Every structure is written in structure tokens, then in C-alpha cells.
Amino acid sequence: MKKLLFTPGPLSTSRTVKAAAMEDMGSRDAAFVETVQQIRDELLALAHVSQAAGYETILMQGSGTFGVESVISSAIGENDHLLVLSNGAYGERIVKMCTIHKLPHTVIRFEEDEITDPAVVRRQLEQQPGITHVACIHSETTTGLFNPIAEIGTICAEHNKTFIVDAMSSFGGVALDMRAANIQYLVSSSNKCIEGIPGFAFIIAEKKELLKTKGQARSLSLDLYEQWNGLEANGQFRFTPPTLSIMAFRQALRELEEEGGIPAREARYRKNKETLDSGMAALGFQQYLRPEIQGHIITSFLYPNDPNFHFEDFYQQLSSRNFVIYPGKLSKTNAFRIGNIGQIFPEDVSALVHAIGEIMEKQTATSK
Ligand SMILES: *Cc1c(COP(=O)(O)O)cnc(C)c1O
């Protein structure tokens, strides 16, 4: 039976996207090389930039984290200093990368239920002129909040800092103009809002920044510059490419266009979110975040105030009805998460909410 994934990724994908991964494909085949180039160009267009405007796309094997680590471990030179803005597990993941690669860095931490405050960022940049790069998460999937990246980008531009954005769970599901937001490096992956299957990350970079990173990488396989250089030289990956995942991704891009592009996809995700919000509120569930900072990608719900509620059991019961939700990742609060992204539609969200209602009712009934 088909499971519906209400997770932050991998997500439910269409049959046609999965079918596109059914045929073997040689990594040096002209059709494959062309597909790689086409994907690189289309990703630029989705970010509202182009090669002519000075931007490049790099595809990197692995999950999204490999893409983020590729940028972090390649872009920060010996004499550079990275400011990491953290308000969740994904910000902390970048901090961990800095520690492992021994990169000069400073961290500003905000509470998990607060957005990154642009005024604090501005003050830090004024007080610490040695900072050269700033890294921030767009949609912090830990909670579902949206950080104000356009405002932070403006501040970075005013102070001439390189801005790195982990837009993993938002790219393709939220309108974003990379140049207008003053972003030099943007990272996302094949299996989030573009609705492909897992296999690779992609990085959209300002070429002038990318060229500075030559010879700077801390690892061979995640060397961003060399990965780009390889793709430019002969259209190929340096090491075994995720061929089938690439073929599925091309189909996913077609389906995104057929749906009406990012605006239409964003509208569908927002509708999913509204359906979820009203349904869960009617069942008495409370959200972790205040609505003003909550994005439409994923929502954290507090455990209900019921001693009979056990997440594992709740999860299993939903899973046996083919609804897959996600545990929480908050450091101090018990919550679970429900995603609105992937091949799921408002009627699927309604069905999920209905199932949650039934399970909760059964639980209450047995406890009486
Ligand atoms: C999904 C996600 C990642 C990458 O996770 P992987 O498991 O490596 O694919 C990174 N940052 C954010 C904000 C994410 O949502």
C-alpha cells in the first residue's frame, strides 16, 4: 500500500518521477550529460538568476548535508571568518562542520522559537569587522520557522559579506530571488520541494565567489570548485554520479513547470498548511511556534496534555494507516512534526487529520 509522507524529506513523489529512474543510464552518455546541463540551467532560472548574470549551479552527490558541507568547507579561506546564525538543529549542524574542519567562526544563537534577528546580525558585523561570511538557514526544519533571509542578505551586502543560505526545505516551495536577497551561495537538494528522489544536493553560487575558492577545500570529494570545474570541463561529475536520481529530477522539474512553477507549488503547499492548521486546531492540538514566524513547509505540534499520549504508539497507528509523520527535534520541548511538502494535496491532509482524530478518540476511550 502506498504510504503518504508528511515529512521534511525524502518526500512523497509522483509515479512518473519514480518511473523516470527505471532505465539504466550511462554516466558518459550524451543524453545524460545534456540532462545534467539542462538541470543546472533550470535551477538557475528557478532562483531568478542566470549564467549571464554571473551565477553557476554545482550538483553534488549525497544528501543535502553534503551540499552544505561542500560550501562551508570550501568557501571559508584560512583568513576568512564565518558568522553562523543558529536557531535550530540545522544551524547547529553548520557549527559542527566548522568545528570538524577547524574553520574560524563565531556563532550567534537564538531561541528555537525565535527568528534570527537582523538587528543583532547588523550589530555583530559592526563590532567584528573580521567576519567575511555569514551562514543562515532559510526554513529551519527543526521547527518550521522562516528566517528573514532577505533582510539579512541586505545587511550582508551593506557590509560586503558573503551570504550562505541553507534553503534546503524551502527552495522550490517558496518564491525566492537569489540576487534580490543578496545570496552568494544557496543550497538545496533533489528530494525536497522540487519533489525528486534522494541522491544529490545542488548549490547555486555567484561565480565571482566560487572562483575565489580554488584550492581552498578541506576534502577531495566535497571540493566545490573542483566539482564545478569538472562539470564545466566535460559536463561530467568527477566521481560516480547519481544517474537515476538525475533522470528522476529532470522529470520532477517538468512536473513543477506543469503545475505552474514555484508560485503554483507554493500555493498548493499553503493550502495544505491551512487544511492542517484548521484540522489540528479543531482536534485541540497546539502549535509550537507563533503564527507570525511559522512557515508553510512543516509545522511542530506540541504533545497533547494527555498522559495516555505516547508518540511511538501514535506514530505506529498512523503509519499502519499509511500516514508517515515525523518526530520532533526540539531541544527542550516534546513535539512532533507534520510536513506540507511533496506530492501531497489538501485532500491527503484532510485524510491525515481525520485519521489523527480517530486515533485520539480511541485513545481517550480506552483510558476511561
Ligand atoms: C533536509 C535538510 C537538510 C539536509 O538534510 P539531509 O538529511 O542531509 O538531506 C539541511 N538543512 C535543512 C534546513 C533541511 O531541512
67 lines ligand 1 (CB under 6 A): no
- HEC secondary structure over the chain: CCCEECCCCCCCCCHHHHHCCCCCCCCCCHHHHHHHHHHHHHHHHHCCCCCCCCEEEEEEECCHHHHHHHHHHHHCCCCCCEEEEECCHHHHHHHHHHHHCCCCEEEEECCCCCCCCHHHHHHHHHHCCCCCEEEEECEECCCCEECCHHHHHHHHHHCCCEEEEECCCCECCECCCCCCCCCCEEEEECCCCCCCCCCEEEEEEEHHHHHHCCCCCCCCCCCHHHHHHHHHHHCCCCCCCCHHHHHHHHHHHHHHHHHCHHHHHHHHHHHHHHHHHHHHHHCCCCECCCHHHECCCEEEEECCCCCCCCHHHHHHHHHHCCEECEECCCCCCCEEEEECCCCCCHHHHHHHHHHHHHHHHHHHHHHC
Q: How far apart are CA 305 and CA 309, in angstroms?
A: 8
**Residue 367 confidence (pLDDT):** 63
Closest C-alpha to ligand 1, atom 12: 168
168 lines ligand 1 (CB under 6 A): yes
Take residue 107 and report the three cell numbers written for it: 556563532
Domains and CATH numbers, the chain: 16-257 (3.40.640.10), 261-367 (3.90.1150.10)
- On whether the pTM is more than 0.85, the answer is yes
Most ligand 1 atoms within 8 A of CB, residue of 70, 189, 296 to mutate: 189
Q: How far is the CA of 169 from the centre of ligand 1 (A)?
A: 7
* Residue 334, number of CB atoms within 10 A of its CB: 12
| Region for 182 from its dihedrals, namely left if φ exceeds 0, alpha if ψ lies in -120 to 50, beta otherwise | left
C-beta 64 within 6 A of ligand 1:
yes
Q: How far is the CA of 62 from the centre of ligand 1 (A)?
A: 11
| Any ligand 1 atom below 6 A from CB of 141 | yes
CB 265 within 8 A of CB 281: no
Query: Residue 268: what pLDDT?
Result: 98
Q: Which three cell numbers stand for residue 59?
A: 550538483
Regarding the beta carbon of 90 and ligand 1, being less than 6 Å apart is answered yes
Q: Which ligand 1 atom is the nearest neighbour of the CA of 189?
A: 9
Low-confidence residues in the chain, pLDDT < 50: none
- Compute CA 172 distance to the chain's CA centroid, rounded to the nearest angstrom: 9
109 C-alpha to ligand 1 centroid (Å): 19
Quick check: 196 and 245 in contact, CB under 8 A?
yes
Instruction: Tell me, using a 6 A CB cutoff, whether residue 7 lines ligand 1.
Output: no
Predicted confidence at residue 329, as pLDDT, reads: 85
The CA 140 to ligand 1 mean position distance, Å, reads: 9
The protein residue with its alpha carbon nearest to ligand 1, atom 6, reads 64
Say how many Å lie between the CA of residue 75 and the centre of ligand 1: 19
